[in-house]
Amino acid sequence: MKKEIEELLFQVIASVGTAKSLYIEAIRESKENNFEKAKEKVEEANIYFLKGHESHGKLIQMDAKDSSVPFSLLLVHAEDLLMSADTFKILSDEFIDLYKKIYK
């Protein structure tokens, strides 16, 4: 069970970490007036974010069944990255819209 939990935690970390980086790249692309490339980055990021979110959901289901998910720094890190990626997801949409207005 512990190995399964750790694998899910690493899936969350890897997936949402990649998503966060891609959201940041999307913001940078939009800053350079490359909106098609920014859109591609956001779409790719959304796929990674969803993968991480699904792994996170599995952890929550496991914990709800029998409280088998132990508190750990790895769990804290996964949760932190998930929330950070979610924030950058929102910010990337806002920045892209803002840069579109600036470049019009």
Task: State the catalytic residues.
Answer: 77
Is the Cα dihedral 7, 91, 44, 21 positive or negative? negative
DSSP 86: H
CB neighbour class for 31 (10 Å; exposed up to 12, middle 13-18, buried from 19) = middle
- Calculate the alpha carbon distances from 39 to 25, 47, 84 in Å: 10, 13, 20
